[in-house]
Amino acid sequence: RTHRRGNQSPQRDGIGIVTKVLYVEHNDDNIYMLKTRLELLGGFEVLAAGDSESGCELAVTEHPDVILMDLEMPVVDRWEPVRRLRNDPHTRDIPIIGMSAHALESEREQAIATGCDEFDAKPIEFDSLVATIRRVLAHPKEALINAAMRPFAASRRTFFLSKPPAHSGRRERMA
């Protein structure tokens, strides 16, 4: 999903097409920096919410293409906003990229298991985050499948998302 600025019509080269990003973050400096960089890059409109409650409300009313969610928000349980967005029929299909300064693999696994489509560690690496946003938007169903399968894949040593290796065609003798 993409949104048009004003009354501009979309064009084949992408001019006029804007990705609406909702950034839920309690640190005003982080909001300013990321909003400025994304909008200067072009192709992004960034809405910001300074708390989880406002973020969930904006997600319902503004229907962003993607949500960047700080998982370390004050007051509420860190996973509650993600659960709330996933349980709401108006927001359940919006991709969520969880972000946290806790860069441990267990944090990533918990974010994915709770409902985030992706996870990015803070401090934010801008180019990596932009690539993640584009990847999640380009392949939303694939991101959801991968997110759903990650806890399973992490608990098992081998897991195939594609076809298993083809059989050689030779029959083995069974003793």
The closest alpha carbon to 55, from 88, 14, 6, belongs to 88
pLDDT for residue 141: 57
CA 155/CA 158 separation, integer angstroms: 9
Tokens of 146: 């991968």
Distance separating alpha carbons of residues 56 and 70, to the nearest angstrom: 12
Q: Report the pLDDT value the prediction gives residue 102, as an integer from 0 to 100.
A: 81
Q: Would you state the pLDDT for residue 94?
A: 97
Q: Which residues of the chain have pLDDT under 50?
A: 1-13, 150-175
Residue 164: per-residue pLDDT: 43
CA distance linking residue 172 with residue 175, whole number of Å? 9
Question: Using the 8-state DSSP alphabet, how is residue 156 labeled?
Answer: S
DSSP 170: P
Q: How far is CA 139 from CA 31, 85, 145, in A?
A: 26, 20, 10
- Radius of gyration (Cα) for the chain, nearest Å? 19
Single out the residue of 167, 175, 34, 154 nearest to residue 99, CA to CA. 34
